[in-house]
Structure 1
Amino acid sequence: MQTQQIYYTPNEYLAQEEVAEFRSEYRDGEIVSMTGASINHNQIAGNVYAFLKFMLRKTDIKPYIGDLRLWIPQYRQYTYPDVFLIQGQPVFQERRTDTITNPCLIVEILSKSTKDYDRTDKFRYYRSIAELQEYVLINQYKIEIEHYTKADGNSWLFRAYEASTDNIAFASINLEMTIEDIYENVEFDLSDRI
C-alpha cells in the first residue's frame, strides 16, 4: 500500500512553522522535520558564533545562530543554517523579520543524518545566493572541516582542515580562527553514544 505524499505551499509551511513545537525545513513542497542537536553540535555552533560576534563587533557584518530562517527562492527552500553572517542590512523575505535571503557566509555542523545532504543538494541551493562567499562544514565527531570559498564566476575553492593546530582563514571577512577554538570543550567520545 502506497502512501500519498503531501505537498505544501510556502505559505502553508510558514503557517505551520509559527505554531510548531519543533523546527522543520521546507524543500520545494515537502516539510522535513529537523533532528535535535547534540551537545557537540551545540558547543561548536556556540564557539563559532561567539568568536564571530566578538571579532565583528563595530562592523557592518553581523552573525546569527540557529533560529533565523533562510529563504532560497531559486530552489524554493527554507532552511535554518547553524551559523551565518550578513554584511550590511538583512534582506527580509516579503517583510518577514524571521526570514532572510542574503547571508555572505554559512556554517553547518555535520551530523550523521544530514552530512550527505549538507555536502551536496544543500550546498547547491546555497550557491544560488548571490551574496554567499563562503561555506564551512564542521564535523562534530572528529577534527575535520571542509571550507569552500567563492572564486571567479561559479568556481569554488576547497580547503580541508584536519589538525587542531591549523587556523581557518575566513577570506570574505578577513579573519582567522584556530581549529582549537572551534572545537573548544568538544568531547569526541560523546559521539559514540549518539
Structure 2
Amino acid sequence: MAYRLPAATTMQMTSDDFLAWDSGDGSRYELIDGQTVVMESASEGHQIVACNLYVAMRQHLHGAPCRAILSLEVRCDDGNCLVPDVMVYCDKDKRPRGMEACPLIVEVLSRSSARDDRTRKFARYRRLAALREYLVVDWEQRATEVHRLAIDGSWQVTRYAGGEVVYLASIDLALPGDVIFADLEAAA
C-alpha cells in the first residue's frame, strides 16, 4: 500500500500513542518515523492475492501456536507501526494490535508502493527480532520474492515466477504460485 501524507498531519507520536489513537475519520493509517500516514486503498487484484495467501497460511497453521492475519499493525520500534497485507504472528500475549512476534510478513505490491515495500518498509520490518522471512508479491507480474534471514545475519533473496512453488521456511509451507495468483483473471 502506498504512503500519502495527509496535509493536516503535524503531530509526532510514539508507537504506543499510535496504537491507542483513533483518528475518528474512517481512514487507515501507519506510523512512519513518528508521523501518521494515510494508507491508500488497494486494488481488486492486490486484495485477491492477499486473501489467497491469508487463506493458505491460515489453513496451514490451523492448530499451530502461530496465526496468519490480514492487515493488522506491526510495531517495528518506538516510532514505526506498519500494516502488512498478511503476517504470521506468534504472540503468546494475544495483544489486539501492535504485533512484534512475527516470523513472516507479506507485502503485495502496488505500482505506487513497490519501491517503498522493497526498501524502506523492509528496513523497518527487519527491526523485528522474530522476523525470519519477508515475502514480496508482484501480482501484476505474477512474481514473488522471499527474503530469508541467513545464519550469518544477512538477508538472502529467492525469486519465483508464475506457477513455481514458493517455499516459506518460517512456517514450513510450500505454496504453489497457482494458489497465490488464483482468480486474478476475474480482477479488473
- TM-score, length of structure 1 as denominator length: 0.85
Letter of the 2:101 counterpart: N
Residues 65, 84 of structure 1: 8 Å contact kept: yes
Q: How does 1:68-147 map to 2 (within 5 A)?
A: 68-73=72-77, 76-87=79-90, 89-90=92-93, 92=95, 97-147=96-146
Deviates most, 44-53 or 80-89? 80-89
SS state at 2:30 partner: strand
TM superposition outliers: structure 1 runs of 4+ over 3 Å: 11-18
* Residue in structure 1 matching 2:179, options 178, 181, 188: 181
Residues 111-149 of structure 1: CA distance to partner in whole angstroms, max 9, x if unpaired? 111110010011111111110000000012121111111
- TM-score, length of structure 2 as denominator length: 0.87
Q: 2 CA distance for matches of 1:59 and 1:125?
A: 27
SS state at 1:177 partner: strand
Once the two structures are aligned, what percentage of the paired residues are identical? 27
State the structure with bigger RCO (CA 8 A, min sep 6), 1 or 2. 2
Unpaired stretches in structure 2, ≥5 consecutive residues: 1-6
Verify: 1:44 aligned to 2:71, yes or no: no
Larger Rg over CA atoms = 1
Coordinate RMSD, CA, aligned = 2.2
**CA-CA distance at 1:16 after TM superposition:** 4.7
Unpaired stretches in structure 1, ≥5 consecutive residues: none
Q: 2 CA distance for matches of 1:180 and 1:129?
A: 30
Verify: 1:65 aligned to 2:70, yes or no: yes
* Residue in structure 2 matching 1:34, options 35, 39, 50: 39
Pair 1:5–1:184, CA change in 2 (3 A): closer
SS state at 2:51 partner: helix
Q: 1 CA distance for matches of 2:170 and 2:17?
A: 36
Q: 2 CA distance for matches of 1:138 and 1:178?
A: 13
**How many residues get paired?**
181
